[in-house]
Chains A and B, each alone.
Chain A
Amino acid sequence: MRRALYLLPVVLFLGLAAVFLYQLSFGRDPRDIPSVLINRPLPPLDLPGVPGRDDIGLKSEHITGQVSLINIFGSWCVACVAEHPMLLQIRKTGLVPVHGIDWNEKNPEDGSRWLKRNGDPYDRVGLDLGPPKTNAAIDFGVTGAPETFVVDASGNIRYKHTGPITPEVWTDTLAPMIKELQKP
C-alpha cells in the first residue's frame, strides 16, 4: 500500500497531461475572447461611407428595426477573402441584411476597390480608419478581422462570430439563430 504512494507523482502527471491534451484538442481557442457586448445594445454608429462606393456610410438607424449582421472586414485581411463567397451567398438568400465595417485601411479607397474585385455583399458599409477619427471596431471589441455580429431587431448584439463564416457556421449556428430571432 505504501508502495502505491510512490506512483502518485506519475498519476498526477498523467492526469495533468490528460487535461492539457483535452484542452489542446477540444478546448476553447485562446484567441477567441468572449465578447462582453452580448445582449447589450449596439454601440452608437456614425461612420462615413467608403469613397467610391457610397457616401451614406453606416449609422445606428440603418441597423435597428430588423435582425441584421454586421461584418468587420478589410482589404488587407486574407481570411476575409476566404469568407467573401459565403457572404455573397448569404446576400443571395435574402434572409438577413449584411452591413460591413471597412476597418483599418491604409487608403480610404482600398475597400471599394476590394469590393469591386471580389463582389459586394453589403447593404451599407461604413469606413472605420481608427482613432482619432472613428473607433467603431474598438467599440465592438474587435480583436481582428473578419468578425461578425448578429444584431436583433431592437438593436441588441446577440452573438459574435470570430473568424471567417464557413458554410458549417452558417447552416449550424448563424442561420438557425437568425430565423429564431426573426420570429415575431
Chain B
Amino acid sequence: MRLPKAFVAALAAFLLAGPAHAVNPDEMLKDPVLEERAREISKGLRCVVCQNQSIDDSDADLARDLRVLVRQRLKAGDSDEQVVQFVVARYGDYVLLKPPFKSSTYVLWFGPPVLALIAIAALIAFFRRRRPEAVEARRGLTPEEERRLKKLLGDNP
C-alpha cells in the first residue's frame, strides 16, 4: 500500500510536534540546571487567573510575572522549597496544584480511598446475601412444590 506523500508529511508533522509551551525564550535562564528547576517548580504552581493551568502552561500576564519571579528567586540562591514557600506566603496553599498533606486536607486525601472501601464492603455484602438463595435452588424442590408442578403440567396422579 502506498500512502500519499502529503498524508505522510502531515502525519510526521503531528507526531513530531510537541506541546506548545507558554514559557517565552526571553524568560529562560541561561543556566540550564536553574532553568530546569524553574520549570519543575512552575509546573506545580497554579495560575490564579486561569485556575486549572499551571503557571508553566499559562499565557496569562500574571503567570508570566510569577515565572519571572520564580527564576529571579532561584538566581538569588533560593532552594526549590524556599521558592515555593515564597509564592505560598502570598497566595496560600491554593496555588499548589498538589495539595499539601495536613489536617485541613485530610478529607481530600482520605475521602476517595474511604469511599472505595465502603463500595467494596457493600459489594461483598450484596453477593454474600445472594448466595443462600442459589444454594436453596440447587437443593431441588420440596414435595409440596413437586406436587404443584405436576398439577400445573396436567400430569394427574
**Interface stretch (choices B7-15, B31-39, B65-73, B97-105):** B65-73
Q: Are A135 and B69 in contact (CB under 8 A)?
A: yes
Residue A131 at the B interface, CB < 8 A? yes
Residue A52 at the B interface, CB < 8 A? no
- Residues from chain B with a CB closer than 8 A to the CB of A139 are 90
Query: What bracket does the count of chain B residues touching chain A fall in?
Result: 10 to 19
Q: Are B91 and A30 in contact (CB under 8 A)?
A: no
- Residues from chain A with a CB closer than 8 A to the CB of B92 are 33-36, 141
- Residues from chain A with a CB closer than 8 A to the CB of B69 are 131-132, 135, 138
Residue B62 at the A interface, CB < 8 A? yes
The answer to whether residues A33 and B49 also contact, given A132-B72, A135-B69 and a CB cut-off of 8 A, is no
Number of interchain pairs (Cβ within 8 Å): 49
Kindly state the separation between the CA atoms of A34 and B91 in the bound complex, as whole angstroms.
8
**Interface of chain B, main secondary structure:** helix
Residue A176 at the B interface, CB < 8 A? no
- Residues from chain A with a CB closer than 8 A to the CB of B90 are 36-37, 138-141
Query: What bracket does the count of chain A residues touching chain B fall in?
Result: 20 to 34
Report, nearest first, the 9 A-B pairs whose CB atoms are least far apart: A36-B92, A131-B68, A143-B48, A130-B65, A131-B69, A141-B90, A141-B91, A131-B65, A132-B72
Residue B79 at the A interface, CB < 8 A? no
Residue B61 at the A interface, CB < 8 A? yes
Q: Are B66 and A138 in contact (CB under 8 A)?
A: yes
Q: Are B48 and A135 in contact (CB under 8 A)?
A: no
Residue B89 at the A interface, CB < 8 A? yes
17 pairs, A vs B, C-beta closer than 8 Å: A30-B51, A33-B92, A35-B92, A36-B88, A36-B90, A37-B90, A104-B61, A131-B68, A132-B68, A135-B65, A138-B62, A138-B66, A138-B69, A141-B90, A141-B91, A141-B92, A142-B62
